[in-house]
Amino acid sequence: MSGAESFVPTPMMLSEAARKRLQALIKEEGKPQLKLRVYVTGGGCSGFQYGFDFADSVAEDDTLIEFGEVALVVDELSYQYLVGSTIDYEEGLAGARFLVQNPNATTTCGCGASFMV
């Protein structure tokens, strides 16, 4: 007789590069309670676009996803578009930025800032 294995899905992931950059930004600000807010808005060349901001607090309808000493905050409407995504950070010739690797996106623009589901 085989037993079912339990599995707790992770709603979103944070890459090591994003985690390190977030830790550095929090240290620079001197506010250990800061969290990275990730959200989706209408617009962009593909229909929706990603946004990032710092959050001092978490609203009642927000989802808080903790990764040790850093955390992501996602509002209720954005969560449905971001579940399963990985937040990454890259530095290159075009500058430095956080970005979303979203398995739910059917189409993305060339810069990766907007998407369609």
Residue-wise pLDDT for 48-100, tens only, equals: 888 999 999 999 999 999 999 999 999 999 999 899 999 999 998 878 999 99
In this prediction, residue 1 has a pLDDT band, given cuts at 50, 70 and 90, of very low
Residue-wise pLDDT for 9-37, tens only, equals: 568 999 999 999 999 999 999 999 999 99
Asked if 100 and 38 count as a contact pair (C-beta separation under 8 A), the reply is yes
Q: Give the Cα separation of 53 and 39 in Å (integer).
A: 8
Q: Give the Cα separation of 15 and 19 in Å (integer).
A: 6
Please tell me the predicted confidence (pLDDT) of residue 105.
76
Q: Give the Cα separation of 100 and 28 in Å (integer).
A: 23
Please tell me the predicted confidence (pLDDT) of residue 109.
56
